[in-house]
Amino acid sequence: MPAYSASAPGKIILFGEHAVVYGQPAIAVPLSQVRARAYVTANRAGTVPAGKKASDPLSSVVVEAPDIGLRADLAGLPPDHPLAAAILAVFERLQVVQPPSCTVRVRSSIPRSSGMGSGAAVSVAIMRALSAYLGHPLPPEEISALAYEVEKIHHGTPSGIDNSVVTFGKAVYFVRGQPIQALKLLVPFHIVVGVTGIATPTGEMVAGVRRRWQADPAAYEALFDAVGQVARQARRLIEDSAPEALGPLMDHNQALLSQVGVSCPELDRLVDAARSSGALGAKLSGGGGGGAMIALVREQEAARVASALQAAGAVRVIQTMVGKRQK
Ligand code: PMV
């Protein structure tokens, strides 16, 4: 069988994280500077460790993720392991009972547990490459829906924004349970991403917000409503070709996220550093509690803001132009 490879980009949430889980709109864009890539190749004789659960049909599939030091056969991984779950979802969808002897290898440059859609991108890349390898490339709608099922195993109550934006690779205005709406991005704008280096599983952050919401629903719903307003205003500004005016909305969204309890000192430090070095606005992006933040900048200030983020402790800084045609 010929080898197949496929990829999916990372993503950043510009507005609306957490509130999106509760039905408010959010805006997210792909971040093509970082990507997950999956390769599926036929095994040569002797690749599969002999004798190990050889009777299990899943033992013919080798799973490799060198970035996390993983090499195992599929039968040896728990079915809810994120990589196994993505592979098994494809086998189930395509009714593959006896998988061919193959290796699924995954590489990713997307920082993990950092609010940049790493898990969803890995799932999508695997599903694309594996379904093509099996002769039935799945359409994007199905890939996104299957990746959502995998997200559920780890996040509990994902909104679906991550799988949508990384599958379709375009800017989205997203409302949970509704078809995704493409965002008309006529005027590109510059974003600098700062990664704290603190990996925080999104599921834990979402669960924490849920506990606090249950303890004080009125207060949290007011915060989520306010975030929704911000996302709606941001959409209007983007579609009215006034993205530079998004800065104050980012600052307001960050203040609301702090009240929701998902910022942290390291994120606050990067947000402050971005603002005081000339950013138009800044906020955390994704689950929070660590992970990444974003700053809106004028092109001429991008390098200064990037240096300030590094000086303030960012372990990685990525500059991107939103609205430029994504690869
Ligand atoms: O941390 P990420 O990149 O998985 O983003 C999660 C966004 C949340 O709104 C916090 C959760 C969700 O499912 O929408």
Protein residue whose Cα sits closest to atom 14 of ligand 1: 159
Best mutation site among 13, 166, 294 for ligand 1, i.e. most ligand atoms within 8 A of its Cβ?
Answer: 13
pLDDT value for 25: 98
- The span from the CA of 318 to the CA of 275, in Å, is 16
User: Is the dihedral angle over the CA atoms 148, 153, 159, 161 positive or is it negative?
Assistant: negative
Atom of ligand 1 nearest to the CA of 113: 1
Query: 180-222: per-residue pLDDT in tens?
Result: 899 989 899 999 999 999 998 888 999 999 999 999 999 999 9
Best mutation site among 202, 209, 223, 260 for ligand 1, i.e. most ligand atoms within 8 A of its Cβ?
Answer: 202
Give distance in angstroms: CA of 202 to centre of ligand 1.
6
Query: 114-127: per-residue pLDDT in tens?
Result: 889 999 999 999 99
Q: What's this model's pTM, rounded to 2 decimal places? A: 0.92
- The span from the CA of 239 to the CA of 142, in Å, is 28
Considering only CA atoms, give the Rg of the chain. 20
Atom of ligand 1 nearest to the CA of 21: 14
Which among 144, 162, 141, 152 is positioned nearest to 12, based on CA atoms? 162
Average pLDDT, the chain: 94
Which range (54-58, 111-115, 146-150, 314-318) has the least confidence? 54-58
Give distance in angstroms: CA of 167 to centre of ligand 1.
15
Atom of ligand 1 nearest to the CA of 205: 10
- 162 a catalytic residue: yes
Tokens of 155: 């996040």
Residue in 67, 162, 240, 251 annotated catalytic = 162
For the cut 80, the answer to whether the pLDDT of residue 131 exceeds it is yes
Which range (42-46, 65-69, 187-191) has the least confidence? 42-46
Task: Return the ∠ at Cα 102 (arms to 99 and 106), rounded to 5°.
Answer: 115
pLDDT value for 201: 87
Query: 222-281: per-residue pLDDT in tens?
Result: 999 999 999 999 999 999 989 889 999 999 999 999 999 999 999 999 999 999 999 999
- pLDDT (average), residues 94-122: 94
